[in-house]
Amino acid sequence: MVQSIVTSVNMCALMFVIIAGGYLGFKSGWPGYEVPTGSFPFGVDGMLAGSATVFFAYIGFDAVASTAEEVKNPQRDLPLGIGGSLFLCCGLYMMVSIVIVGLVPYYAIDPDTPISSAFASHGMQWAAYIINAGAFTALCASLMGGILPQPRILMAMARDGLLPPFFSDINKHSQVPVKSTIATGLIAAILAFSMEVSQLAGMVSVGTLLAFTMVAISVLILRYIPPDEVPLRPFLQEPIDSGAGGYIWSCLETGWKDKEAVGTSGNRKPLLVKEDVSIEYPLIPKQLAIGSYLHEGNRRKVVGWVITLTCLGILVLTYAASDLTLLSSVRFGLCGVGGSLLLSGLVFLTCIDQDVARHNFGHTGGFICPLVPLLPIACILINSYLLVNLGSDTWARVSIWLAIGLVVYVFYGRTHSSLKDAVYVPATQVDDTYHYHTTTCLA
């Protein structure tokens, strides 16, 4: 309820800025765009550097995914919610920026109160009250939107053993991780008190861009070289601890259809193998030239190296394109090498089939990433360019933060992880094993 009221007030303030500011702009002839340096005074590099700094504004969209456990139909509702909010907020951001920059030249904008000072320069001092009310509600919405996902992320990490159980404690009355929420609020308050807004914005932007980049790389890995074996869920590991359990999984791994013994009660079930999936040749290559060389024996190694070299080419290309201190010959040479690796990887991944037979495990319908591999590679390219354009001071602070996380993992998470003693089973058998376990329990 509170979130709805805050968001409504914020939206009304933004619509006022767009409508009233547009009226003033058309009335005054948009003086902000009449500058001698043109529309891009700092060039494309300056525009992208500014985009990288304010990229933290998009952190709220991925926060929607952290509430998947609290959504009735996450396969449908989460993609719609993320896409709809992204489209709406991005459109509002652009319209507000167009109006404010058009009312006042970029060099005359007050960095502390840019919107209200823009209206005040046109004789609308009273508009500051509406804008300040919108700014206040926007801060409240940002605080609530930022403090919502992080406790749930800490809760999920604590469930996996990467953090102490303190963070996974759920309040019995509210059914939310209260302790994680309090810890997140205290840490955020300390950082906000000890650091400037620009420093925090840079750190948050780096974290957001890195997270989006890793997700894009993970999409490529899951589509082309998904894991052959996955850890079994804890409640399914109990039968494996018995004497017959190991025999069952040996049968599943070797594919012996004759051996169907399950448990000691004499019950027998058929081997859990999907009939429409070819075990020996699950993939049909699109191109004979590549298919003659790529087979199940070397597919994982070859495709893994292709994805690695593609990411390396993107890194070289973005660094060479953004570093103006390099010699022209060196810069163009690095751009050529990086571009060649990028295009070669894109063409190779486009010409081979995705590993559909194994990437479907755990997928129960709903949204999947389209335009693979073009969209993930484009995401990695854009994010890498934005990351390279962030300052060295920001990277130094982020490196310290990452080092703290590495220390926590080495001295606690690595020894307490739930995967330490996990049982790994073939990925193609996970869904069938789950359904078999459910049927057995119901019987």
| Ranges of each domain in the chain | 2-224, 229-234+274-442
Q: How confident is the model at residue 60 (pLDDT cuts 50, 70, 90)?
A: low
Give dist(CA 235, CA 191) in Å, integer: 40
Q: Which residue from 314, 370, 375 is spatially nearest to 343, judged by alpha carbons?
A: 314
Res. 26: pLDDT tops 50: yes
Picking from 237, 166, 195, 297, the residue whose alpha carbon sits closest to that of residue 419 is: 237
Those residues whose C-beta lies under 8 Å from the C-beta of residue 388, and which sit 6 or more positions away, are: 318, 319, 322, 323
Q: Which one of 15-19, 255-259, 264-268 scores highest in mean pLDDT? A: 15-19
Using the structure block, give the residue that is written with the tokens 């650091």: 195
CA–CA gap between residue 422 and residue 424 (Å, rounded):
6
Q: Write the pLDDT tens digit of every residue in 396-427.
A: 888 998 899 999 999 999 998 888 777 777 76
pLDDT, the chain, mean: 79
For position 258, what pLDDT does the model report?
43
What pLDDT is stored for residue 334 in this prediction? Answer: 94
The answer to whether 197 and 394 are in contact (CB under 8 A) is: no
- pLDDT at residue 360, rounded to an integer: 55
CA nearest neighbour of 65 among 77, 55, 50, 47: 77
Per-residue pLDDT tens digits for 160-199: 899 999 998 888 888 888 899 899 889 888 988 888 888 8
Q: With pLDDT > 90 as the criterion, what percentage of the chain qualifies?
A: 26
Residue 205's Cβ-count burial label (10 Å; 0-12, 13-18, 19+) is buried
Question: Average pLDDT of 203-210?
Answer: 84
**Residues 6 or more apart from 341 whose CB is under 8 A from it?**
309, 310, 312, 313, 314, 316
- Evaluate whether 418 touches 161 at the Cβ level (below 8 Å): yes
Is the pLDDT confidence value at 300 over 70?
yes
pLDDT score of 270: 41
Q: Is 104 exposed, middle or buried (0-12, 13-18, 19+ CB in 10 A)?
A: buried
pLDDT tens for residues 77-98?
A: 888 888 888 888 889 888 999 9
What is the per-residue pLDDT for 335? 93
pTM summary value? 0.72
Q: Are 318 and 341 in contact (CB under 8 A)?
A: no
